[in-house]
């Protein structure tokens, strides 16, 4: 158990809809990362937050947004969903925000868009 | 320049054999190279990592070999076991104000008894 909790584990929705994925980092970790995993693209970095502030942005679509709350949990909002958004979304956390270190991943939220 | 290229996509090895997975990168600013292991239904977990000031790092049956001039690094799994069957991801990160990891596309390893 990594200590990172993601909900929901599975989500099925229709095109055009909006969903919110939630992540609780390990106790004490200030950094939260969101990654998207699809079969042909591997793990794609979406966005990082450190202590409530956006720290880095990757290949995140404009239809997607995220935030980190004062209690350090994070939410990833996906809107105007398309079939191609079906993927496994991982949250990871780390203690640091500026020096390379271990990322602790949750078990992911599997999103299916029909 | 941000990519990490990983090969092979899949690998089948007999129990007791050596599994070798290779990665290459372009960005010379990368200075941290971890390998993550992912079992089905689980998130990736750190297996072993190396920095470019050493050419090799060994932890048990797992070894990272690093070639800075060629911008390549590889994971060797000695005496491969069925329990090693998983997907392996190489990754890299830069020493800037974030420690986000850029991952390779993954290698699915199957070890048969």
DSSP assignment of A59-107 equals S--TTEEEEE-TTS-EEEEE-S--GGG-EEEEEEEES-SSS----EE--
Q: What percent of chain A has pLDDT over 70?
A: 95
Cα four-point dihedral sign B69, B35, A50, A13: positive
pLDDT tens-digit readout, B72-93: 999 999 999 999 999 999 999 8
**Chain B residues touching A104 at Cβ < 8 A:** 45
Provide the token pair at A78. 């996906």
What strands, in cross-sheet order, belong to the sheet with B62-67?
B4-7, B19-25, B72-77, B62-67, B56-59
Predicted confidence at residue A102, as pLDDT, reads 84
Question: Which of A41, A44, A100 lies nearest to residue B93, judging by beta carbons?
Answer: A100
Predicted confidence at residue B95, as pLDDT, reads 74
Question: Which range (A32-36, A100-104, B54-58) has the least confidence?
Answer: A100-104
Question: Which of A43, A58, A100 lies nearest to residue B89, judging by beta carbons?
Answer: A43
Q: Are strands B102-103 and B86-92 parallel, antiparallel or unpaired?
A: antiparallel
**For residues A14-18, average pLDDT:** 98
**For residues B23-34, average pLDDT:** 92
pLDDT tens-digit readout, A76-104: 999 999 999 999 999 999 987 655 678 89
Mutate to test the interface with B, among A39, A100, A109 (most CBs of B within 10 A): A100
Specify whether the CB–CB gap between A20 and A26 falls below 8 A. Answer: no
Q: Which of A52, A16, A38 is closest to A87 using CA atoms?
A: A38
Predicted confidence at residue B100, as pLDDT, reads 78
Average pLDDT over chain B reads 93
């Amino acid at each position: 158990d990594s200590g990172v909790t993601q909900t929901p584990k599975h989500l099925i929705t229709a095109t055009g809809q909006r969903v919110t994925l939630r992540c609780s980092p390990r106790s004490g970790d200030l950094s939260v990362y969101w990654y998207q995993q699809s079969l042909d693209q591997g793990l794609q970095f979406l966005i990082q937050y450190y202590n409530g502030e956006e720290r880095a942005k990757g290949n995140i679509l404009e239809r997607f947004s995220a935030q980190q709350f004062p209690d350090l949990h994070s939410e990833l909002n996906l809107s105007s969903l398309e079939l191609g958004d079906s993927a496994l979304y991982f949250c990871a956390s780390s203690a640091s925000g500026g020096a390379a270190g271990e990322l602790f991943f949750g078990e992911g939220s599997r999103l299916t868009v029909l | 320049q941000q990519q990490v290229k990983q090969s092979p996509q899949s690998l089948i090895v007999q129990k007791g054999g050596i599994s070798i997975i290779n990665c290459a990168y372009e960005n010379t600013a990368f200075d941290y190279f971890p390998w993550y292991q992912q079992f089905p239904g689980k998130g990736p977990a750190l297996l072993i990592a190396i920095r470019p000031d050493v050419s090799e790092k060994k932890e048990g049956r797992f070894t990272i070999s690093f070639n800075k001039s060629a911008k390549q690094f590889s994971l060797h799994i000695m005496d491969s076991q069925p329990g090693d069957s998983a997907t392996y991801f190489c990754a890299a990160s830069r020493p800037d104000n974030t420690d986000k990891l850029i991952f390779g596309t993954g290698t699915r390893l199957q070890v048969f008894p």
